[in-house]
Amino acid sequence: MTTETITAHASGTWNLGDLPVHRLGLGAMRLTGSAAFHHGVPSRRERSLDVLRTALELGVNHIDTAAFYFSALRSANELINSALAPYPDDLVIATKVGPHREYDGEWGTAARPDQLRGHVEENLRQLGRDHLDLVYLRRMRQDSIAEHFGALAELREAGLVRHLGISSVQPRHLAEARAIAPVVAVQNRYALDRPDSNADELLRLCGESGIAFVPFYAVAGEVGERGATDAHDEDVRALARAHGVTPAQIRIAWTLSRGPHVLAIPGTGNPDHLRQNVAAGALRLTDTEVARLDAGRMREG
């Protein structure tokens, strides 16, 4: 499978509310260094900037970020601002609020509803924008998200936020949020080697309601924030050999196969990996191949 001329257009499109995006986007967390957040080796600044500029050249118009994506020397939002501003009209930048990190990198307590405006304004400042395209409320173990989501709905009414999403939720939270304001996207952990009945149900509910489902750690699998996994089962490796691609590309193709409303946001700080990820948007698995991967997933569960 050649990666020379493949762009994100090959992955298809989906509308986040009134904002069309290609289904293959970019997660910004890896831009900050070799390990997530404050630990590990910080990224080389020019390489991270190159990843962002190359992403746009390859047609990526959906970037997922957060103000709490920073390492010892790098901030994802600052990198995005430096590399891409003034922003193209078709670029959609999604961010998330709820978790809180101190400047030394340590995690603080989850934000109260009355603190969410400050979180939104911090993202606005770092990104150099007057409004945010899409803001997810990342649930931090709350039983109810009504008060927090209601606070974001007020910011949407005020014009600081265009569209709202929710993250790390259970199916009942989707109904709770939709009773307050429109939800255009749900972002949950979801991967080929990580069966999750809640995530499967959310994927189905989103498809029925025209809501985007945006998995995170779809390539990383069990290792999560530590980086892309190399623990691929033999079915994934066999399909990768058959298609002449990497196992990570098979995982991305499987993710996109879950439905036209599913968006992929693989993260990377490596321009070569970026090109491979984007090229995976053109890879179409057959029904038989998807069923083979699904059978292995059921065995994992």
CATH superfamily for 18-231+263-269 is: NADP-dependent oxidoreductase domain (3.20.20.100)
Instruction: Identify the pLDDT of residue 232.
Output: 77
What integer pLDDT is reported at residue 3 of this predicted model?
A: 47
Coil, helix or strand at residue 267: strand
Q: How many distinct helices (H) and strands (E) make up the chain? A: 10, 9
As annotated, the active-site residues are 69
pLDDT exceeds 70 at position 39: no
**pTM higher than 0.75 for the full model?**
yes
**What are the backbone angles phi and psi of residue 105, rounded to the nearest 5°?**
95, -15
The pLDDT, as a whole number, for residue 102 is: 80
Domain ranges of the chain: 18-231+263-269
State the Cα–Cα distance between residues 56 and 7, nearest whole angstrom: 10
Q: Percent helix, strand, coil in the chain (nearest 5)?
A: 45, 15, 40
Closest to 251 in 3D by CA, of 219, 281, 226: 219
Residues 263/25, Cβ–Cβ less than 8 Å: yes
- Does pLDDT of 224 surpass 50? no
Across 43-57, 115-129, 224-238, 285-299, least confident range: 224-238
Task: Decide if pLDDT at 2 tops 60.
Answer: no
**Using N-to-C axis directions, what is the helix angle for 76-84 and 45-57, rounded to 10°?**
60
* 179 pLDDT more than 90: yes
Using a 10 angstrom Cβ sphere, with 0-12 exposed, 13-18 middle and 19 or more buried, the burial of residue 190 is: buried
User: 105-144 pLDDT, tens per residue?
Assistant: 788 888 999 999 999 999 999 999 999 999 999 999 899 9
Confidence of residue 92 (pLDDT cuts 50, 70, 90): very high
Mean pLDDT, rounded, for 262-269: 96
Instruction: Encode pLDDT of 234-243 as tens digits.
Output: 999 999 999 9
Structure token digits, residue 285: 């698995």
Q: Which of 192-196, 207-211, 219-223 has the lowest mean pLDDT?
A: 219-223
